[in-house]
Structure 1
Amino acid sequence: MIKVLFFAELQEAAGSEQVSVEANGLSVNELKAKLLSSYKLDNLNHVMIAVNEEYSPEDTVLKSGDVVAFIPPVSGG
């Protein structure tokens, strides 16, 4: 299982701050597609991605036990 963490508006859209997903052997991009089919995450294509607390590209292959965080852009002032 992969633990997926959502931040900011993604938490509200998913209805939870984290979910567990069977995604062993999938790329981050494939995980995103799986999440988009299950949740209404309109901004998922405009987020930064971290795997095990390190920013990662979408072709990163996931393994059981990984933690993937989807972090939307934040503006402030």
Structure 2
Amino acid sequence: MGTVTVLLFASLAERAGTRRLEVPVSGGERVRDVRDRVVARYPQLAPAVPTLMYALDEVYAREDAPVAAGSTLALIPPVSGG
């Protein structure tokens, strides 16, 4: 067992009150498993889940991508602006 560093951006960081978390992982976990663990800790993030994008070790990833201990997972909400 190890940990994954989870980075929260924009509105997610504001809602959670932090930009960085350490989340425990074990073998065979996927991006969605880590995301769900973060949402369980910060339920105020749940409304953003359907629109999130993910980056695993600085490469965009799908929610079914495998996650290894020591990785960095970024949760990225949609960005708008002008």
SS of residue paired to 1:64: coil
Q: Residue in 1 aligned with 2:62?
A: 57
Q: With structure 2 as the length reference, what TM-score do the two structures score?
A: 0.86
Unaligned runs of 5+ residues in structure 1 are none
Deviation at 1:44, TM superposition (A): 2.7
More strand, by proportion: 2
**Percent identity of equivalent pairs:** 36
SS of residue paired to 2:32: helix
More helix, by proportion: 2
Q: Tell me how far apart the structure 1 counterparts of residues 72 and 26 of structure 2 sit (CA, whole Å).
A: 11
SS of residue paired to 2:75: strand
Moved beyond 4 Å, runs of 4+: none
Instruction: Report the count of equivalent residues.
Output: 77
RMSD: 1.1
Q: Residue in 1 aligned with 2:19?
A: 17
